[in-house]
Structure 1
Amino acid sequence: MNLARSFLGYRLGSLNIPSANRSYALSRFPQKLTGAGRIRDRAQPQAPPTSNHWAGSSSSHGESNIWKTAQRPAMSDPHLGLTRLLLDNNTLVIERQIEMLNIFVGFEQANKYAIHNEAGDSLGFIVEEQQGLFSVLRRQAFATHRPFRAVIMDVHGTPLLWLRRPFAWINSRMYVQRLQDYASYTPEGEPVLDTFAEVQQVWHPWRRRYDLFMREKTNRVLSLASESQPEPPLTTFTQVGQVDSGLLAWRFAINDETGREIGSIDRAFRGFGREIFTDTGRYSIMFDPHLEDQALSHTTASSPGTGSLNLDRRALLLALAVNIDFDYFSRHSHSGPGGFLHTGGWD
């Protein structure tokens, strides 16, 4: 393990991190005003940490088979797998798998999702970790407040992305991790993870809102997959998008700083039987919808991966879909089994 830490070049350090979550403003895009009486500190490059003081304050603890599997050397090229998954497809279909205990006794199990393209070809999987009896009890007791971790894999079982959602009383957060420089392992073959994006839910009495953040290029938040994962400093991320959907919405448009739609997540209605008695869900993620409009109007040629969303930002939207499913359409969300009460959206 000492050799692994030396490979990182430095240990996670002693940073004075405020205990409170990020404060919310009317807008946190770098080039937009935050509103009267508010200020925004621009993120600054930070000195490399020198100790592991705050790595223990992780929001995720313990081990599981899926997490241990994700700590092994890759079976295929992770960067190529991410490219095929996210850049070769402008639309992804995410489907949560049926769990029998969810149906018969209302007992929520670990989430599992299959990823397909529009043609129905299998592209990968999203699997939430399971940690034994205590984790099962915590899942039932804390419902959508509980922490969880998940791994996004390609069809070969190679981990591509790591998702981490800390415990939260009100506004959920999800961090997105990938390999450092898409291909970094310790000499022992353990993945070196880079926390590069974050999803934050924004509280509102009835609207469904999220803020999306990307890590500043000058900052790195590195950790080993086997370590307790750190909470990044508040100045590490810059807002790149937001979601502001209406009451009981099933469609979530992601807009950039100018208000242009850069992506969307739509939950499909699967029929009354599925919505009432099962905890399944099917979501369509569309990247760069303006490319479809251009293709329909024949104004310019479009092809997958040529839009404004790069690989990391598309990965952020994929994580957002998982967070939306967990917040609003799981059996333990406010609205009931499978999100059945979400029958429409009003602005």
Structure 2
Amino acid sequence: MQEHRYAIVDVCYPQSPVGFIREQSNVVVRQFLRLRRPFVAYITDAMGNELYRVCRPFWWITSSIYAEVDGKEVGVVHQRWHLWKRVYDLYVGNKQFAVVENPGFWFWTFTLKDINGEVLAEIDRAWRGFGFELFTDAGQYVIRFGSSDPFLMTGCARKIRELKVVRPLTLSERAVALALAVSLDNDYFSRHGDWGIPFAVGGD
């Protein structure tokens, strides 16, 4: 199993990455623990400058992943055990701001909702065909932060499927949402480790 690498792109300009996510983990631990391995993933801009990092410790029943800026924890995603649903709780500091309750195996859309059930963001794992999905790990993820005012969407952003959100996420909340995307890939979709491409789509 290899260390994971991801390119972060603007969906309007997919040929020019705006950042990267690079995992760092122990090669021996990776082979034995595989998807349950501990790792640190560094989120950088296109020039390789670190913006923040996410840290995921070893897990057995449910996973957690932490977002850190300059060594200080700013948020965390905790997986909650459920017999068939994929449930995640998202926090900034000690305050929970979102929950994800994915219905199960065949549903590849993960919607972040607040305590009132209002939509905050959405993560889709883009389907690209049986052959591609079965024999590679190069999955694509679309992160939609949406807009609380659709009239603010201009240019090629208008071509993106509209996601109406109750409010825009803060930068810290968006960092935790990206950490969730990394966790989802490792919890359910990764097998060998390779390059993946999570599309980051900005809103307000």
Q: Which amino acid counterpart does residue 97 of structure 2 have in structure 1?
A: V
- Of 272, 275, 278, which aligns to 2:133? 275
Aligned to 2:164: none
Deviates more, 1:139-148 or 1:199-208: 139-148
- Of 183, 187, 197, which aligns to 2:75? 197
Q: What is the CA deviation profile of residues 99-123 of structure 1, one whole-angstrom value per residue up to 9, with x for unaligned ones?
A: xxxxxxxxx2100000000121311
Q: What is the CA deviation profile of residues 144-175 of structure 1, one whole-angstrom value per residue up to 9, with x for unaligned ones?
A: 22111110000111000111001111110001
Distance in 1, matches of 2:48 and 2:178, equals 18
How many equivalent residue pairs?
A: 178
Cα pair 2:62 2:79 within 8 Å, conserved:
yes
Aligned to 1:150: 41
Distance in 1, matches of 2:128 and 2:21, equals 20
Distance in 2, matches of 1:276 and 1:168, equals 25
Q: Which amino acid counterpart does residue 322 of structure 1 have in structure 2?
A: V
- Of 102, 107, 110, which aligns to 1:245? 102
- Of 133, 156, 159, which aligns to 2:50? 159
Aligned to 2:62: 171
Q: Which has the higher contact order (CA 8 A, sep 6+)?
A: 2
Distance in 2, matches of 1:112 and 1:168, equals 21
- Secondary structure (helix, strand or coil) at the match of 2:120 reads strand
Distance in 2, matches of 1:199 and 1:286, equals 18
CA distance 1:301–1:159, change in 2 (3 Å):
closer
Instruction: Note the 1:171-320 alignment, pairs <5 A.
Output: 171-179=62-70, 193-215=71-93, 237-248=94-105, 249-287=107-145, 289-291=146-148, 294-295=149-150, 300-302=151-153, 307-320=167-180
Identity %: 41
Q: Which amino acid counterpart does residue 110 of structure 1 have in structure 2?
A: E
1:280 Cα deviation after fit: 1.5
Instruction: Note the 1:19-168 alignment, pairs <5 A.
Output: 108-119=1-12, 120=14, 121-130=16-25, 135-168=26-59
Cα pair 2:147 2:168 within 8 Å, conserved:
no
Distance in 1, matches of 2:117 and 2:65, equals 23
Aligned to 1:51: none
Distance in 2, matches of 1:274 and 1:198, equals 31
1:137 Cα deviation after fit: 2.5
Name the structure where strand makes up a greater proportion of residues: 2
Give structure 1 regions of 4+ aligned residues with deviation exceeding 2 angstroms: 300-304
Q: What is the CA deviation profile of residues 64-118 of structure 1, one whole-angstrom value per residue up to 9, with x for unaligned ones?
A: xxxxxxxxxxxxxxxxxxxxxxxxxxxxxxxxxxxxxxxxxxxx21000000001
Aligned to 1:336: none
Q: What is the CA deviation profile of residues 231-279 of structure 1, one whole-angstrom value per residue up to 9, with x for unaligned ones?
A: xxxxxx1211100011112000000111001000000112222111111
Cα pair 1:145 1:170 within 8 Å, conserved:
no
Question: Is the radius of gyration larger for structure 1 or structure 2?
Answer: 1
Structure 2, unaligned stretches of length 5 or more?
158-166, 193-204
Structure 1, unaligned stretches of length 5 or more?
1-107, 180-192, 216-236, 333-347
Cα pair 2:147 2:153 within 8 Å, conserved:
no
Cα pair 1:262 1:290 within 8 Å, conserved:
no
Q: Which amino acid counterpart does residue 124 of structure 1 have in structure 2?
A: G
Distance in 2, matches of 1:125 and 1:308, equals 23
1:330 Cα deviation after fit: 0.8
- Secondary structure (helix, strand or coil) at the match of 1:315 reads helix
- Secondary structure (helix, strand or coil) at the match of 2:29 reads helix
